[in-house]
Amino acid sequence: MSPYPSRLGRRRHRFARRPRRVAMLSVHTSPLHQPGTGDAGGMNVYIVELARQLAAHGIEVEVFTRATSGDLPPTVELAPGVLVRHVEAGPYEGLAKEELPAQLCAFTHGVMQAWAGNRPGHYDLVHSHYWLSGHVGWLAAERWGVPLVHAMHTMAKVKNAALAEGDTPEPAARVIGETQIVRAADRLVANTAEEAGQLVHHYDADPARTAVVHPGVDLARFRAADGRAAARARLGLPKDAFIPLFAGRIQPLKAPDVLLRAVRHLLDDDPGLRERLVVPVVGGPSGSGLAKPEELQKLAARLGIADIVCFRPPVGQDVLADWYRAASVLVMPSHSESFGLVAIEAQACGTPVVAAAVGGLPVAVRDGVSGFLVHGHDPAEYARALRRLVDDADLAARMGEAAARHAGGFGWDASAATTAELYAEVCAEAATERRRRQLRSVHAHR
């Protein structure tokens, strides 16, 4: 049994009042940005879907994010009950994520200006995402006298312990910043029990203030629908090809090079496979991958597989679902993943996954049932896993069916419901503490 509190196991404040309105902070990337571009990825999807579902549960959400263009309106309604507020902080363009700490004061000022335009008590709780937002959330929560809930999404110490070759370590300033947020937050939200354990181990987090809430998947969008053949026809892919797909940001952390090298191993073992092999890479350069944006294309050429690798830019969620349906298997060889939403999305579409056994991926993928987990990043090991699916169509079909069943347990509605329960619990604790302070103050003045 996990030592970290799960949302289903904590009922002390089950019937406490939920917050009416939450200030959600996402400094460095907007929920309106296209996932797979720049710094936009799983966290963007997480914020959008969680906010929508919280609103459906009767909790209004206002998402504060940095304005990256002068043409953006101050506010955008993302969905009924979900408002995105663009905060001016630094130049609109040309700022790398590593340069954003210098803009946190300006961002905090913008958040405070928005708050000052409302009646007292406008926000009942602050929910910050990623460490940059955590520092703004820390100050806002203290100023407004409301609880702070924080989601790390990734952690510097975890990333630095599993760096890909040539990747850049996270700076000491981030480690210090994350440590401060862990101490300040009323509740830390982890995607998995492993991530909760990492918070405790690396940052000395209090297990009693660390809760596990699995992210979800949009099961209405990501589903088998009309099947693989129809998806391939829409995307112009051969109907009988074996298609191992990479989908995500192109950077060393995500290790798309491992897939290309695994494909080379497959062809060395079976040159005839080239005739029915198509390898799509769907996504754009991000993070340290921006330093060499064409490195993956050059690697494909050096490996002699440029003719079967097709690079595609990031796509919208509906088209991405078609790529998942069209694929024979999704390959996710990441060095670090807090959860791995892409793996769940692909499985919801009936596609098995071959993934690294890191972070939250052992939760996202049922090893030997909905796909295969690979320990380490040896391309030969990934090639062996892929070979099993190439050689055994029945195994691939069974895993695809099991993948869809497995992903069916990860709906966003459940994630939002347990998050709303967590909010109610934290608000109840804060109210109890306020009453205690008031009583102490009364006794002190008698």
Instruction: Determine whether the annotation assigns residue 366 to a binding site.
Output: no
Instruction: Determine whether the annotation assigns residue 41 to a binding site.
Output: yes
Instruction: Determine whether the annotation assigns residue 327 to a binding site.
Output: yes
42-89 per-position pLDDT tens digit: 788 899 999 999 999 999 999 999 998 888 999 999 999 999 999 999
Residue-by-residue pLDDT tens, the chain, 446 positions? 345 554 434 444 444 678 999 999 999 888 887 665 556 667 888 999 999 999 999 999 999 999 988 889 999 999 999 999 999 998 988 788 888 999 999 999 999 999 998 998 999 999 999 999 999 999 999 999 999 999 999 999 999 998 888 788 999 999 999 999 999 999 999 999 999 999 999 999 999 999 999 999 999 999 998 889 999 999 999 999 999 999 998 989 899 999 999 999 999 999 999 999 999 999 988 665 555 668 999 999 999 999 999 999 999 999 999 999 999 999 999 998 988 899 999 999 999 999 999 989 999 999 999 999 999 999 999 999 999 999 999 999 999 999 999 999 999 999 999 999 999 999 999 888 878 877 776 666 66
Structural tokens at position 128: 């910050």
CB 224 within 8 Å of CB 352 = no
CB 130 within 8 Å of CB 108 = no
Instruction: Determine whether the annotation assigns residue 337 to a binding site.
Output: yes
CB 294 within 8 Å of CB 337 = no
pLDDT confidence of residue 165: 80
Q: For the whole model, what pTM was predicted? A: 0.85
Instruction: Determine whether the annotation assigns residue 423 to a binding site.
Output: no
pLDDT confidence of residue 158: 93
What are 250's strand-pairing partners?
285
Instruction: Determine whether the annotation assigns residue 130 to a binding site.
Output: yes
Instruction: Determine whether the annotation assigns residue 174 to a binding site.
Output: yes
Instruction: Determine whether the annotation assigns residue 351 to a binding site.
Output: yes
CB 167 within 8 Å of CB 253 = yes
219-253 per-position pLDDT tens digit: 999 999 888 999 999 999 999 999 999 999 898 98
Instruction: Determine whether the annotation assigns residue 315 to a binding site.
Output: yes
pLDDT confidence of residue 433: 84
CA-nearest of 86, 62, 64 to 74 is 86
Instruction: Determine whether the annotation assigns residue 345 to a binding site.
Output: yes
Q: Which residue type does 315 have?
A: V
Instruction: Determine whether the annotation assigns residue 18 to a binding site.
Output: no
Q: Which segments within 35-113 are labelled E, that is strand? A: 60-66, 75-79, 82-87
Residue 189, SS3?
Answer: strand
CA-nearest of 338, 171, 342 to 256 is 342
CB 20 within 8 Å of CB 72 = no
Q: What is the gyration radius of the CA atoms in the chain, in angstroms?
A: 23
Instruction: Determine whether the annotation assigns residue 113 to a binding site.
Output: no
Residue 228, SS3?
Answer: helix
Query: Whole-angstrom Cα distance, residue 215 to residue 420?
Result: 13
Structural tokens at position 327: 């694929």
Domains (range + CATH), the chain:
21-216+413-443 (3.40.50.2000), 228-408 (3.40.50.2000)
CA-nearest of 412, 437, 439, 305 to 57 is 412
Instruction: Determine whether the annotation assigns residue 254 to a binding site.
Output: yes
List the 82-87 sheet strands across, edge first. 75-79, 82-87, 60-66, 21-26, 125-129, 148-151, 187-190, 210-212
Instruction: Determine whether the annotation assigns residue 154 to a binding site.
Output: yes
CA-nearest of 420, 413, 414, 411 to 58 is 420
CA–CA–CA angle 176, 178, 183 (5° rounding)? 100
Instruction: Determine whether the annotation assigns residue 213 to a binding site.
Output: no
Instruction: Determine whether the annotation assigns residue 34 to a binding site.
Output: yes
User: Which residues 6+ apart lie within 8 Å of 332 measured at CB?
Assistant: 246, 248, 254, 340, 342, 343, 353, 354, 355, 356, 361
pLDDT confidence of residue 88: 94
